C-alpha cells in the first residue's frame, strides 16, 4: 500500500510540474513599444514579424521564453520614420536583422503575476532585462482542444545601452515595452 501511494504521489508531482511548448498566435499577439518624443509626447509602434515560443506548465507557470523579432518589421504608422529607424542611425537592420530574448529566470509574484529575467540582444549588444508578466486567462480552445493562454508582458529598456540611436534631446532614452500574447499549447 505504501509503495502504491508513493508511486501515485510521484506521478502526480510529475504531472503537475510537466512543461509543454507554447507558440504565439501572430494574429492575436502584438509586440509594442512607446518612446518619448521632444519630451512632450509619446510615439508608439510595434514589430509586425516575430516568433515567440515558451515552455511552461498548463497554468503557464515556470515559463521560459525564446523570442525572435524581425527589426525590418518595425511600424510606427509613418513610412519615413520607419525607414529612418531601419537605417544605420538606429536599428541597422541589414547588419542586425533580429532582436532576441531568452529567459534566464522566472519568479511567481502573485496568483496570476510573475517576473521574468532574461538576456535581450539588440543591435549586437546583450544585456539582462526584467519584464513583468500577467496571465490574463487560460482556456481550452474548442477547435484544437488544446490550451490557450493570454499574457501581457511589460518592461523598460534604455535604448542607449544597446547603441540604438544617439544621445539626442529629441528622444527619450527609455523605451516602454508592452507585449500582448495569445499563446497556443502545442
C-alpha angle with apex 36: 33 to 40, nearest 5 degrees? 145
Dist CA 70 CA 66 (whole Å): 14
Please state, rounded to an integer, the average pLDDT across all residues of the chain: 92
> Which residue has better confidence, 105 or 1?
105
pLDDT (average), residues 47-58? 98
Whether 52 and 24 have beta carbons less than 8 Å apart is answered as yes
User: How, if at all, do strands 171-185 and 98-108 pair?
Assistant: unpaired
pLDDT (average), residues 84-95? 97
> How much is the pLDDT for 17?
58
Q: What is the DSSP letter of 111?
A: S
Question: How does pLDDT run across 94-132, given as a tens digit for each residue?
Answer: 999 999 999 999 999 999 999 999 999 999 999 999 999
**Which H helix or E strand runs over 155?**
strand 147-158
Question: How does pLDDT run across 153-173, given as a tens digit for each residue?
Answer: 999 999 999 999 989 889 999
Query: In terms of CATH, what superfamily is 19-185?
Result: Lipid/polyisoprenoid-binding, YceI-like (2.40.128.110)
pLDDT (average), residues 23-35? 97
Whether 89 and 166 have beta carbons less than 8 Å apart is answered as yes
Q: Quick one: cell of 60?
A: 503557464
> How much is the pLDDT for 3?
54
Q: Quick one: cell of 73?
A: 518589421
Q: Which residue from 155, 156, 177, 173 is spatially nearest to 164, judged by alpha carbons?
A: 173
pTM of the model: 0.88
Question: How does pLDDT run across 53-83, given as a tens digit for each residue?
Answer: 999 999 999 999 999 999 999 999 999 999 9
Amino acid at each position: 500500500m505504501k509503495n502504491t501511494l508513493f508511486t501515485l504521489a510521484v506521478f502526480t508531482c510529475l504531472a503537475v510540474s510537466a512543461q509543454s511548448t507554447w507558440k504565439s498566435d501572430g494574429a492575436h499577439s502584438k509586440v509594442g513599444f512607446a518612446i518619448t518624443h521632444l519630451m512632450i509626447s509619446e510615439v508608439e509602434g510595434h514589430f509586425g514579424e516575430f516568433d515567440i515560443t515558451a515552455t511552461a506548465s498548463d497554468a503557464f507557470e515556470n515559463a521560459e521564453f525564446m523570442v525572435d523579432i524581425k527589426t525590418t518589421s518595425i511600424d510606427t504608422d509613418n513610412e519615413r520614420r520607419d525607414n529612418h529607424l531601419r537605417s544605420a542611425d538606429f536599428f541597422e537592420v541589414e547588419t542586425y536583422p533580429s532582436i532576441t530574448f531568452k529567459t534566464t529566470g522566472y519568479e511567481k509574484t502573485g496568483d496570476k503575476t510573475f517576473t521574468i529575467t532574461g538576456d535581450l540582444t539588440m543591435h549586437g549588444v546583450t544585456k539582462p532585462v526584467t519584464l513583468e508578466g500577467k496571465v490574463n486567462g487560460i482556456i481550452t480552445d474548442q477547435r484544437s482542444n488544446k490550451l490557450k493562454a493570454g499574457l501581457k508582458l511589460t518592461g523598460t529598456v534604455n535604448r542607449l545601452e544597446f547603441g540604438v540611436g544617439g544621445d539626442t534631446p529629441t528622444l527619450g532614452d527609455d523605451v516602454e515595452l508592452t507585449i500582448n500574447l495569445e499563446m497556443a499549447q502545442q
